[in-house]
Structures are given as C-alpha cells and as structure tokens.
Amino acid sequence: LLSPIVTLGTHDYLEFWQYLDTQRACDGGRIEIYAGGRWTLLTPENGYPVAYVAALDGPGFSGSSPWSRVRCDLRDYAGGSVRFRWVFAADGSGQGQGWFLDDIRTIGFSNFAGKISGTLQLDGSAPELSEVWIGKPSDLAVNPNPELAYTLYLPLGAHHASSFAPGYSIHTSDALELSLSDPSLQQNFVIHELKPVAGITSSHTENVLTLHWEAPAEPFFPITGYRVSRRMNAGAFESVSESAEPEYSESLAAPNRYQYYVQVLYAEGESLPSATLSVELPFPEDPPTPAATKLLANFPNPFNSSTTISFDLATPQRAELTVYNLRGQLVNSLCVQQLEPGRHHVTWDGRDAGRRAVASGVYFYRLDTSDYTETRKMLLMK
C-alpha cells in the first residue's frame, strides 16, 4: 500500500488503525517512509511488537491483534515531502486473515506547501511514462500524465526541479521560490533526444570481427564518441571500447556466442543502446558474392524475443532495413548505412525506436536500396 506525497509540518504524526491475524514471527507487516531519495523503516511510538519477523527479515507487526491505533512520530522529517508504504509478507507456512488497515492520516498536516506544474516536451520517441521523472534530484519526483503534464508538490522555499527520461538530456530549472504569497508556479521543460545509432552490422576476416554503424543523422548535441558493450553466451554485458570512430574491431579466439550493442556518447549523457547484434564463433563460411540483391527470410519465424534478418547485396550501396506494424507505421530502423557486397545479418530484439517492447503480432520488414525494394512478413509471439 503506497501513500501519495505528503508535505509535513513542524510536528506531525502518522496515525492509522490496524487489525492483525497472522502466524506470529513468521508473517507480518511494517511501515516504511520515503525521504532523502530512499526508503527506510519507520518505527511506531511504542516500537514493533515482534523484533524479528521471518518473512520481513526484520521487525514488524505480527501475530493476532484486535483493532488498535498506531502512531509514528514524524518530527525527524519536519518540513519535508515524504511518502509512506505498508509492506506485508508471508512465508506460506501458516494461514490467517492477514493485515487490515483503516483511517490512515497525518495529524498536524501543514497546508503551507506549494506546487509546481507544467508540461514536458520531448523531440524524439516517447519512452514509457513510468521511466520519465520530474522533480528534485535525490528527492521527490513525479511521472507526467499521458498528455505529458505534471504537478509537483513541495514545501515552501527555493527549489531546483529537473526533468529526466532515458536517452534524453536533463533540463534543470532556475531557482523556483514557493512562498505564501506565490505558492503556485509554472515551469515547462524541454528535453532533447540523445539520438542512438539506427543499427549495427558486422564483417570478418579469419577471426577478426569488425562492427560497423553510422552516426545518427542531425543530432541535437555534438557527438563525443561511441561505447561498445559485449557479452559472451549468457554473461553480463561489459563495456569493451570507447572511441570517436563509428567502427570497432577485435580478435575473437574462444568459440562462443558474442552479443554487442552500441551507445552514442554526448557531453549531456548517453543514448539508449542500439539493437543487439549476435555473432557466433567459429564464423560460418562466407558465401560467394551474391549475384543479386535480395531480402531473405528472417530466422526464427515465428519468434519470441529476437530474430535475425539477413539480406544480400550484389554491389556496394546504401541499405535501409526498417520494421513496420500492420497499420504501416514505422516501428524501428534497424540499419541505415553504406555496406559492402555480400550477405549481411541484422538482429531485431522486438523493440521500437524508443527501446520499448512491442506487442505480439504480425510485423513487416523492408529492405530499400538504390535499385531494390522488398517487404517480408514476420510473427512475434510472446
């Protein structure tokens, strides 16, 4: 159970009524408070009746209790904006009705708080709203609504508010002074996309693998470099290179499944990762130079989380590989770059340009070159 944001006065209490029917010391509940950018345990006036509840791995309310009042002193958080949550856990070894709460309130709540409201403007693909925040760094923040409007309640005083979204620059306001005479202020935010690369391709000679990509077109900020991350088999991704050039080479020795992604680096931050490229060592034997440009069937198809799309180029040329939904709307650009003749492989991980997972269904992938266009169908099944 999670409370809304509450701005506290100089001497406030949290008060609520509870009824408890659990297996003592095994199941139970506790109260936590969010302040200073983290959640911590909130102890009631008379302490928790059970010093250790197994399912909570710490103190809490446990056992059986009729309806009773609980109070928590909040003076240590005076003047701040906080949230409360009630956490219940059970180890499954017993049965009971659980933990019931009623009449939750703060006593002595101060009305002397202000609010900052406004809108957020993004110039790129919209991320998940749950990942977009507006507020004070390391303190309280809120998500905007679907119209990208927000309202942030803060205690009276001077504040700097910031907007944050993954893959975007951070916009921090000038000092905003909330006072009794001016308790409501307007602050709009504009943040710019840190453009990612459209996709990466690979080539190899013997055991040397080279990754290729193109710089994002018309980025809002100057590019300072690129970071390449790699993992082997099911291991964790690790950064293996940072350079100014849109290319990376390494010698691979051990037979493995290698996966790579690229992020664009800016002075203002870093872009979202590109789609992941998978490479198997030993490399498959190179087929002869194709006689004609052709878009091949993706594999696997249907697929669950990712699929590999292959295509042949008969001559050096610029190739664009894109994914569309059934409505004909662009979902993602997987490759937009000049490529050499040969067979090329691009992995699509089932995400759109904003790195959000797309829904199950039928999608189309299209290859465009100067003298060739073809579209094929694939099925994503989760």
Give the Cβ contact number of residue 45 at 10 Å.
Answer: 10
Rounded to the nearest integer, the mean pLDDT of the chain is 90
* pLDDT at residue 138, rounded to an integer: 62
Q: Distance (Å, rounded) from C-alpha 219 to C-alpha 215?
A: 9
Region of 377 please: left (phi>0), alpha (psi -120 to 50) or beta: beta
Q: Distance (Å, rounded) from C-alpha 142 to C-alpha 140?
A: 7
Task: Say which amino acid occupies 81.
Answer: S
State yes or no: pLDDT of 274 exceeds 60.
Answer: yes
* pLDDT at residue 173, rounded to an integer: 93
Phi then psi dihedrals of residue 33, to 5 deg = -125, 140
Q: Which region among 203-207, 322-326, 378-382 has the lowest average model confidence (pLDDT)? A: 203-207
Instruction: Indicate the Cα dihedral angle 248, 254, 259, 261, nearest 10°.
Output: -20
- Concatenated DSSP letters for 26-39? TSEEEEEEEETTEE
Pairing type for strands 149-155 and 317-324 reads unpaired
* Model pLDDT for residues 180-210, shown as the tens digit of each residue: 888 899 999 999 999 998 778 888 877 788 9
Give the Cβ contact number of residue 297 at 10 Å.
Answer: 12
* Model pLDDT for residues 33-47, shown as the tens digit of each residue: 999 889 999 999 989
Asked whether the beta carbons of 295 and 320 are under 8 A apart, the reply is no
* pLDDT at residue 102, rounded to an integer: 95
Q: How far is residue 46 CA from its own chain's centroid? A: 40
Residue with tokens 């506790």: 30
State yes or no: pLDDT of 110 exceeds 60.
Answer: no
Average pLDDT over residues 120-132: 87
Confidence class for position 137, pLDDT limits 50, 70, 90: low
* pLDDT at residue 239, rounded to an integer: 95
Q: Distance (Å, rounded) from C-alpha 68 to C-alpha 48?
A: 13
Phi then psi dihedrals of residue 76, to 5 deg = -65, -15
